[in-house]
Amino acid sequence: MLHSDYRPPNPAPSEDLIARFAAIVGVRYAIRAPAEMARYLDEPRDLFHGKAALVLRPGSTEEVAAILRLANETGTAIIPQGGNTGLVGGQVPHDDGTEIILSLGRLNRIREVDAEGGTLVAEAGVVLTAVQNAADAAGLLFPLSLGSEGSCTVGGNLSTNAGGTAVLAYGNARELVLGLEVVLADGRIWNGLGRLRKDNTGYDLKHLFMGAEGTLGVITAAVLKLFPKPKAVTTAFIGLDSPHAALALLGLARQHLGAALTTFEVVPRIGIDFVLKHGNNTRDPLGEPHAWYVLAEGSFGDEAQAQSGTEALLEEALEKGIVADAAIAASEAQREQFWGMRHILSEVQSREGGSIKHDVSVPVAAVPAFIDAATAAVEALIPGARVIAFGHLGDGNIHFNVSQPVGGDKAAFLAGWDAVNECVHAIVAEFSGSISAEHGIGRMKRDLLPRFKDPVALAVMRQLKATLDPNGILNPGKVL
Ligand code: FAD
């Protein structure tokens, strides 16, 4: 299922039409040279490759509107692209070369920071770290945080409804948005850049475009919510026996820290082994190895609260035998070291040969049972397969990745991608979970969606697509 059966029906743009598109942005921002185009055609995992007739880099919302108007009139397929860090191939064109990539990177202005109102207006192409930095400069926090934050963009974050490591406290990307500016498929600009915290005047349209992966409209700007910056943060690396112990610790952490608990990530020992083997300047986070680890972070109003809250939590967890050992970061450098180990897990895994990935969620209380069942099933299917189930336990979202057996053949292992997916997704379904927790559907899971989505929900999604994009020009063959 890695590559969907979709074949683009849209016509290839003629030379004359390509010239009309190029004239909208100016030839300098209309890319056709293969060497310049290359970086828009592949994605980080090297799983999806495409070809495009043209890459357009508009410099304003009005230019985006003119491009979509022309595309809609001529039935030309448009693939919106931000930082090109998406993991399901949604931003990559198909390989027949008829589609046009709309790269939003030049819409990179932060239009406004309102510290009093706690809002920031960013254009779609602003890189996530630039938003975080602008909030920080205003004495505030923009909490969305992902491993790709140095290159992913606001438009991509909202279009994928990105998750990341602070969802537990602040929610997914869609919960961090007050308003949107969107260009519709026919070129109309919807100015929905409201800053209202309350507005019950009918359907809340912004939620249609978030998580739509560029299939319903092109997001050009957003009003983002800013939060008070915590005065003190504690970060702990905790060794324990099993995901069951991690779940018990999560319950205890909620009792002790309440809303101050901002991150609760789980990592198996094999992940730490990979980090120690392939990472730079890494060392074992605790004296002795443990079967599982939790990376937990709390954000507090003051230092005393931070210390007492975290220490009381760990004391009780140690007393109850839930955790075996723990280290609290004593400096910013140690905090960064802890986070560094978490952030490079995907990267180091790729150094161990082929890896078959799953971004799944189940109800939080079911995570340990899901990990046990899926691990047993995958190990029975491929003897020697190495399961690395890590991620956002606090959100019920596990990256259930499977590395090839040591010394095995990478191509032969990856040929089993569909079979491994089938096996894991069947267990996800048993636990009433989701086959895509935070990365989206894109091309990768398009053909799977009808099997896992409620049929009525799927039919309504198709009706919405037909209403908002009747000519099927926006990211065709993605999601639906
Ligand atoms: P792109 O990859 O360019 O596009 C993603 C999708 O959005 C595509 O379907 C595209 O067509 C659409 N799109 C882009 N811009 C617009 C726009 N302006 N209007 C309409 N549609 C648009 N994701 C998580 O959720 N949580 C994580 O923890 C996480 N960690 C990651 C770590 C690494 C190392 C990497 C490489 C990726 C990770 N991701 C994660 C996935 C990815 O970074 C996110 O999906 C991110 O939000 C994509 O942003 P982007 O700007 O790169 O979008």
How does 300-326 read in b/e, with b if 16+ C-beta sit within 10 Å?
A: beeeebbeebbeebbeebeeeebbbbb
CA angle 150, 152, 155 (to 5 degrees): 140
pLDDT at 150: 96
Q: Distance (Å, rounded) from C-alpha 390 to C-alpha 393?
A: 8
Q: With contact defined as beta carbons under 8 Å apart, do 206 and 226 qualify?
A: no
For residue 349 and ligand 1, the question of a CB distance below 6 A is answered with no
Per DSSP, which regions of 98-174 are E strands?
100-103, 110-114, 119-123, 140-141
For residue 439 and ligand 1, the question of a CB distance below 6 A is answered with yes
pLDDT at 43: 87
Which atom, in ligand 1's list, is nearest to the CA of 45? 36
For residue 477 and ligand 1, the question of a CB distance below 6 A is answered with no
pLDDT at 210: 98
Tell me, in angstroms, the distance from the centre of ligand 1 to residue 207's CA: 17
pLDDT at 2: 58
Parallel, antiparallel or unpaired: strands 232-240 and 325-328: antiparallel
Tokens 């945080």, residue? 145
Reduce the DSSP state of residue 392 to 3 states and report it: strand
Reduce the DSSP state of residue 131 to 3 states and report it: helix
pTM for this prediction: 0.94
Q: How many Å is the Cα radius of gyration of the chain?
A: 23
Tell me, in angstroms, the distance from the centre of ligand 1 to residue 310's CA: 33
Which H or E run includes 328? strand 325-328
Structure tokens at 151: 């290159």
pLDDT at 6: 84
For residue 85 and ligand 1, the question of a CB distance below 6 A is answered with yes
- Chain-centroid distance of CA 71 in Å reads 28
For residue 145 and ligand 1, the question of a CB distance below 6 A is answered with no
Overall size of the chain counted in residues: 480
Tell me, in angstroms, the distance from the centre of ligand 1 to residue 121's CA: 19
Tell me, in angstroms, the distance from the centre of ligand 1 to residue 150's CA: 12
Which H or E run includes 15? helix 15-25
- Chain-centroid distance of CA 375 in Å reads 24
pLDDT at 3: 61
**Hey, how many other C-beta atoms are within 10 angstroms of the C-beta on 452?**
15
What is the chain's pLDDT, residue by residue, as a tens digit (480 residues)? 456 778 888 778 999 999 999 999 999 999 999 999 999 999 877 889 999 999 999 999 999 999 999 999 999 999 999 999 999 999 999 999 999 999 999 999 999 999 999 999 999 999 999 999 999 999 999 999 998 999 999 999 999 999 998 999 999 999 999 999 999 999 999 999 999 999 999 999 999 999 999 999 999 999 999 999 999 999 999 999 999 999 999 999 999 999 999 999 999 999 999 999 999 888 999 989 999 999 999 999 999 999 999 999 999 999 999 999 999 999 999 999 999 999 899 889 999 999 999 999 999 999 999 999 999 999 999 999 999 999 999 999 999 999 999 999 999 999 999 999 999 999 999 999 999 999 999 999 999 999 999 999 999 999 999 999 999 999 999 999
Tell me, in angstroms, the distance from the centre of ligand 1 to residue 156's CA: 4
Identity (one letter) of the amino acid at 153?
T
Task: Please give the DSSP secondary-structure letter assigned to residue 12.
Answer: P
Burial class (CB in 10 A: 0-12, 13-18, 19+), 14: exposed
Residue 203 half-sphere exposure, CB side, CA atoms within 13 Å?
Answer: 5
Q: Distance (Å, rounded) from C-alpha 420 to C-alpha 442?
A: 19
Looking at ligand 1, which residue's alpha carbon is closest to its atom 10?
Answer: 91
pLDDT at 44: 79
Backbone φ and ψ of 371, nearest 5°? -60, -45
Identity (one letter) of the amino acid at 10?
N
How does 354-371 read in b/e, with b if 16+ C-beta sit within 10 Å?
A: bbbbbbbbbebebbbbbb
Per DSSP, which regions of 41-125 are E strands?
54-56, 78-81, 100-103, 110-114, 119-123
Tell me, in angstroms, the distance from the centre of ligand 1 to residue 20's CA: 29
Identity (one letter) of the amino acid at 99?
E
For residue 106 and ligand 1, the question of a CB distance below 6 A is answered with no
Which atom, in ligand 1's list, is nearest to the CA of 217? 20
Alpha helices per DSSP H over 324-366 = 332-343, 345-350
pLDDT at 20: 98
For residue 159 and ligand 1, the question of a CB distance below 6 A is answered with yes
